[in-house]
């Protein structure tokens, strides 16, 4: 008996696709089409595979063994599995404009071809089991028409709208990668970016400006909002604004279209934020509790190093006691915590002291289940135009050994307290 293709399996068991159908052409693999929460998918046998938002914009594709991700900014990442020695590793790259345009046109042509096949009656329908709702030919035809509307002109107009809505995007903490982004502040306060990265001009939106921005973001995303449950409130100093402004920002989000709860409308369940400067003044415990009531559920903290001298290389002046007190307040307020830690912040000159001090400090924090410690490569953050003084970056085997040593030193967090300790690369954000 022949094995079922992915398309055939989804028709029978794809419960996430509440509305679905399979189409059999005279020759070739069957085609699965289905709607799930906020999305639509096409599977041609085991591939190619295409995923779209409800606006008809393609988001992900799997073609000839390569995964493609299209961002809301219209850039496309290609992800391929390649062998390096005995290991298989993922390699990412951003497509050049001509490549991206060709891929957009190819996916649009796929929808056109399917429309023509539907119109000609060449496809034989197979409906799903009785508990699922069949996708009617009219519904499928209408949605394919929506996909076809996304030609080069439409993508260009969308790109312009995106650039008018967002400033330079912030680095997203690893635990907020799939969040919808709102920018209450842009750039970097005092010209200081996490990890010695390139700093962008700083600007704080007023509350009315933020409300306008929120509406513009909702329009930009359209029905793609249905896919989101988490919102990232940028930038790195937003939680250092006055308390009444932070409350107003969170209340603006709560009143917005983003948090509507009727029918299939978007429903955001959690707000995440990043804090890079941990020094006083900071929100009080009672203020953190207020933010928690307004859906702030996770705060990620930038911790280049547990050694004050090494942190000073990155122009950070907060004390270890600041981090200890801040983590304690967040835990008492029932707000989950993320830590961003640089594996090699001290370079070759301070590698040992950085490793020991960082492990000691993090192991003393009141972290527990649901908290995440992300280990990052300092070389991916440093602005090459402004290298930290007297630091020789680690590379190759020396860097790998430092990563392994830090993971081992933090093992008690994982084994005894359920904290996730995970390596992370900026490649996953396409930076």
Does position 152 have pLDDT exceeding 50, yes or no? yes
Name the one residue in this structure whose structure tokens are 């085991």: 46
Half-sphere exposure of 175 (CA within 13 A, CB side): 25
Specify the pLDDT at position 382.
82
User: Do residues 103 and 76 lie in contact, with contact meaning Cβ atoms separated by under 8 Å?
Assistant: yes
Does position 323 have pLDDT exceeding 50, yes or no? yes
| In the chain, % of residues over pLDDT 70 | 95
- Locate the domains of the chain by residue range: 6-156, 166-429
Confidence grade of residue 149 (pLDDT, cut at 50, 70, 90): very high
Specify the pLDDT at position 431.
44
**Which of the two residues, 169 and 86, has the higher pLDDT score?**
169
Task: Specify the CATH superfamily of domain 166-429.
Answer: tm_1862 like domain (3.80.30.20)
List 298's β-bridge partners, or say none. 272, 336
Could you read off the pLDDT of 332-361 as tens digits, one per residue?
Answer: 999 999 999 999 999 999 999 999 999 999
Q: Which of 126-135, 246-255, 300-309 is the least confident region? A: 126-135
Token pair of 212, please?
């306008």
Cα 320–chain centre separation: 29
Could you read off the pLDDT of 29-65 as tens digits, one per residue?
Answer: 999 999 998 999 999 999 999 999 999 999 999 999 9
pTM of the entire structure?
0.91
Of 201, 179, 182, 342, the closest CA to residue 269 belongs to 179
Q: Report the interhelical angle of 320-332 vs 285-293 (nearest 10°).
A: 50
Token pair of 162, please?
């995106």
């Amino acid at each position: 008996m022949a094995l079922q293709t992915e398309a055939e399996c989804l028709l029978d068991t794809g419960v996430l696709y509440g509305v679905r159908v399979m189409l059999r052409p005279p020759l070739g693999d069957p085609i699965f089409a289905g709607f799930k929460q906020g999305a639509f998918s096409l599977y041609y046998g085991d591939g190619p595979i295409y995923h779209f938002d409800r606006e008809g914009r393609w988001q992900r594709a799997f073609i000839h063994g390569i995964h493609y991700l299209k961002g809301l900014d219209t850039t496309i990442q290609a992800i391929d599995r390649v062998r390096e020695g005995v290991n298989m590793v993922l390699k990412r790259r951003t497509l050049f404009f001509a490549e991206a345009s060709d891929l957009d046109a190819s996916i649009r042509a796929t929808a056109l071809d399917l429309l023509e096949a539907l119109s000609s009656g060449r496809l034989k329908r197979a409906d799903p089991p009785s508990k699922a709702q069949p996708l009617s030919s009219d519904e499928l035809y209408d949605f394919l028409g929506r996909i076809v509307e996304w030609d080069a002109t439409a993508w260009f107009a969308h790109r312009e709208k995106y650039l008018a809505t967002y400033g330079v995007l912030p680095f997203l903490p690893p635990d907020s990668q799939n969040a919808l982004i709102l920018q209450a502040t842009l750039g970097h306060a005092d010209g200081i970016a996490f990890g010695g990265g390139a700093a962008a001009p700083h600007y704080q939106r007023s509350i009315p400006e933020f409300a306008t921005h929120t509406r513009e973001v909702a329009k930009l995303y359209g029905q793609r909002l249905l896919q989101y449950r988490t919102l990232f409130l940028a930038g790195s100093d937003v939680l250092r604004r006055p308390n009444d402004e932070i409350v107003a920002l969170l209340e603006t989000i709560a009143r917005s279209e983003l948090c509507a709860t009727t029918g299939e409308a978007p429903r955001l369940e959690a707000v995440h934020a990043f804090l890079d400067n941990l020094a006083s003044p900071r929100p009080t415990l009672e203020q953190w509790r207020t933010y928690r009531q307004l859906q702030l559920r996770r705060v990620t903290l930038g911790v280049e190093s547990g050694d004050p001298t090494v942190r000073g290389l990155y122009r950070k002046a907060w004390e270890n006691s600041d981090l200890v007190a801040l983590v304690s307040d967040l835990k008492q307020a029932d707000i989950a915590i993320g830590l961003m830690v640089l594996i090699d912040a001290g370079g070759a000159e301070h590698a040992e002291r950085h490793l020991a001090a960082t492990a000691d400090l993090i192991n003393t924090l009141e972290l527990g289940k649901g908290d995440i410690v992300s280990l990052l490569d300092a070389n991916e953050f440093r602005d090459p135009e402004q290298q930290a003084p007297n630091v020789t970056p680690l590379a190759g085997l020396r860097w790998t050994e430092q990563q392994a040593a830090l993971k081992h030193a933090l093992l008690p967090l994982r084994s005894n307290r359920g904290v996730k300790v995970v390596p992370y690369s900026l490649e996953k954000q396409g930076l």
